[in-house]
Amino acid sequence: MVAATPSTTLVMGPVLFNWTPSAWRDFYFRIADEADVDQVCIGEVVCSKRAPFFAPYIPEVIERLRAADKKIILSTLALIMNKREMDSIREAAEVGEADILIEANDISATALLSGRPHAVGPYVNVYNEDTLAYLAANGACSVCLPVELGLDAVAALAMNSPVELEVLVFGRLPLALSARCYHARAHGLHKDGCQYVCAEDPDGMTVSTLDGDPFLAVNGVQTLSHAYTDLSAHVGDLLDLGISRFRLSPHANVDMVAVSEAYRAVAVGASGPEETGARLAALVGDAELCNGFIAFEGEEFDRLHK
């Protein structure tokens, strides 16, 4: 395994899908023991109904990650809709362990975390410098930018950012959240009686156009891109902008240890973008890869990068 460098931080994002509790636990055990990542996000982001199934395994996952010297980030819900869910955020905010950083994914969570160091996830709308300044003054030490920003916008935010910026570079892109559960509706069920049907699709349920072309994926109340983003070709651009935090989003059908090794190699210059892209394409098999929203016009990038 390639040794980590101070200039690059690889972050394994939270599991977004409804995996079996044992598969969830074993995934994090393997990440702790084998993955070349510096920080690991745990916690339920998409649906609070799933959380009780994983809760019994969290202490041993934390212990395993600590033993592997991985920094732990506790990710919280991206959509808070009732008092019970707000109470879960309050409980997370009261975690007293100094080595666990709480990640806010709903703007209301940032108020509960005010005055203490915390992270901000990609579900909080951060589109301008004033928002970054506000979050930094509130205690944020890192911000994972929304996935819909192009490289020109990322460059503008990175120019004088008061916090560390992070970009999601691998995995299906989180696009939207809804109060309704698409997964349950697709199976003729109501959200309150969903029977946890989302567990049938451990990497999301494909949504196709009327012509039969896949273009989105559904994960409970969450809508994702169908294609997996791969920004390995743009890691050099991001490093040039001063962004060195790269997030990998877990998938059940991909060897995430190998993905972390591929991204470490390209980040430290041990592998070129073309070689890394080919390696990742082989790892995802039949899945489609895309570069998300990162495409940019060269002149605009050059202007912002001066």
The pLDDT tens digits of the residues spanning 250-287 come to 999 999 999 999 999 999 999 999 999 999 999 999 99
Q: Which residues of the chain have pLDDT under 70?
A: 1-6, 95-96, 296-306
With 0-12 / 13-18 / 19 or more C-beta atoms within 10 angstroms meaning exposed / middle / buried, residue 190 is exposed
Model pLDDT, residue 145 = 98
Task: Indicate the pairing of strand 214-219 with strand 205-208.
Answer: antiparallel
Model pLDDT, residue 110 = 93
CATH number at residue 135: 3.20.20
Residue 216 lies in a domain: no
Is residue 229 within 8 A of residue 171, CB to CB? The reply is yes
Model pLDDT, residue 96 = 61
Residue 117 lies in a domain: yes
Is residue 59 within 8 A of residue 85, CB to CB? The reply is no
- For residues 89 and 77, give the distance between their C-alpha atoms in angstroms, rounded to a whole number: 8
- For residues 25 and 250, give the distance between their C-alpha atoms in angstroms, rounded to a whole number: 13
Is residue 252 within 8 A of residue 203, CB to CB? The reply is yes
Model pLDDT, residue 1 = 40
**Sequence-separated contacts (24+) of 127-134 with Cβ below 8 Å:** 127/153, 128/157, 129/156, 129/157, 129/160, 129/161, 132/157, 132/161, 132/162, 132/163, 133/162
Which of 194, 178, 176, 174 minimizes the C-alpha distance to 186?
194
pLDDT tens by residue, 11-47: 999 999 999 999 999 999 999 999 999 999 999 999 9
User: Count of CB atoms within 10 A of residue 91's CB?
Assistant: 10
Predicted TM-score (pTM) of the model is 0.92
Residue 186 lies in a domain: no
Model pLDDT, residue 304 = 44
Model pLDDT, residue 296 = 55
Count: domains in the chain: 1
User: Count of CB atoms within 10 A of residue 263's CB?
Assistant: 27
Residue 295 lies in a domain: yes
Q: What is the extent of the structural domain holding 267? A: 9-173+228-305
Residue 202 lies in a domain: no
- For residues 93 and 249, give the distance between their C-alpha atoms in angstroms, rounded to a whole number: 23
Residue 219 lies in a domain: no
Residue 267 is which amino acid?
A
With 0-12 / 13-18 / 19 or more C-beta atoms within 10 angstroms meaning exposed / middle / buried, residue 52 is exposed
- For residues 257 and 176, give the distance between their C-alpha atoms in angstroms, rounded to a whole number: 27
Cα dihedral angle (280, 283, 287, 289), rounded to 10 degrees? 0
Residue 77 is which amino acid?
L
- For residues 235 and 271, give the distance between their C-alpha atoms in angstroms, rounded to a whole number: 11
| Exposure string for 146-182, b = 16+ CB within 10 A, e = fewer | bbebbbbbbbbbbeebebbbbbbbbbbbbeebeeebb
Model pLDDT, residue 301 = 46
Residue 178 lies in a domain: no
Residue 181 lies in a domain: no
* Residue reference for tokens 């939270």: 14
